[in-house]
Amino acid sequence: MMRANARPQGMGSSVSVLGTQCFCGDSELAAAAVVDRVVGARGGFACFCNVHVVVTALHDARLRRSLDSAWRCFADGAPVAWMERRLGHPEAARTPGPDLLLAVLERGEPLGLRHYLLGSTHETVDRLRARLRRRFPQALVVGASSPTIGKDVAPLPDLVEDIRRHTPDIVWCALGAPKQEIWMHLHHEALAPALLVGVGAAFDFTAGTKRRAPAYLQRLGLEWLHRFAAEPRRLGGRYLRTNAEFIFRAGFELLRETPR
């Protein structure tokens, strides 16, 4: 039986994880939902939620509004997917940004879907385009941009106009959290009917400019450990703060959900 805090979402369902409605499903179901949304030209934007994003949204009002306004929030974090399963959704699985990017490119190739790459660096985007061209020769990557966007996420009218000029069906945003979520929230209406999808570090991993965790660590839900080992100075404080808060709040929420 679906819990009271879950709501149907067409392809897949969602459940509240610390106040964020997270999609329950795997990467294939997520890719099918994205392509269906794009083919229907219904616009909007999709986010990926790991522990850092879910916990940060508890303290950042702009991020909270962005996640609440998103069409989908995919569980890009093993603890988030684990929490979904504990809340009564055994079908929930982690949906990593790099996996969804490739799955949608593959599904969209015969449909002629048009893709725009936004974020990261010029070098990374060039390498990403070359790799995608080799793997999906018929995929249409119609434009790309690597803008500098500050913490205030100020509007960039010229950038929006450039994206509109290329008429993409999907805009892949790799601006990093929480900037990409806030940016998509600010601009998704101006870019409709394109669907915006915030994939974080997916450009780096897919382009090969950063090494992704080995498959066995991914299967064990320990991809975060690999990233921490690669960037301990940047990620150490974040993991310590947000992981500890997630464990505390998730434990309290599960205790509340336990039948007396």
147: Cβ–Cβ under 8 A, 6 or more apart, which residues? 118, 119, 156, 159
pLDDT value, residue 155:
76
* Assigned domain for 251 exists: no
Q: Which two tokens stand for residue 173?
A: 């945003």
Asked if 123 contacts 151 with a C-beta cutoff of 8 angstroms, the reply is no
The residue assigned the tokens 């079908």 is 91
CB atoms within 10 A of CB 148: 5
Q: Which two tokens stand for residue 246?
A: 């997630």
Nearest to 46 by CA among 9, 6, 92: 9
pLDDT value, residue 151:
79
* Assigned domain for 200 exists: yes
* Assigned domain for 235 exists: no
What's the CA gap between 101 and 213, in Å, rounded? 17
Nearest to 149 by CA among 172, 128, 176: 176
Kindly state the DSSP code that residue 175 receives in the 8-state scheme.
S
Nearest to 45 by CA among 67, 19, 18: 67
Asked if 191 contacts 165 with a C-beta cutoff of 8 angstroms, the reply is no
* Assigned domain for 241 exists: no
* Assigned domain for 250 exists: no
226: Cβ–Cβ under 8 A, 6 or more apart, which residues? 212, 213, 214, 217
* Assigned domain for 5 exists: no
What's the CA gap between 39 and 33, in Å, rounded? 10
* Assigned domain for 47 exists: yes
Kindly state the DSSP code that residue 252 receives in the 8-state scheme.
H
Kindly state the DSSP code that residue 77 receives in the 8-state scheme.
S
- State which amino acid sits at residue 203: F
Question: 3-state class of 72 per DSSP?
Answer: strand
Q: Which domain holds residue 172?
A: 10-212
Kindly state the DSSP code that residue 169 receives in the 8-state scheme.
S
CATH of the domain at 200: 3.40.50
Percent helix, strand and coil across the chain, each rounded to 5?
Answer: 50, 15, 35
* Assigned domain for 227 exists: no
What is the b/e burial string over 86-116, where b = at least 16 CB atoms within 10 angstroms of the residue's CB? bbebeebbbbbbbbbbbbbbebbeeeebbbb
Q: What domain count does the chain have?
A: 1
Q: Which residues of the chain have pLDDT under 50?
A: 1-9, 260
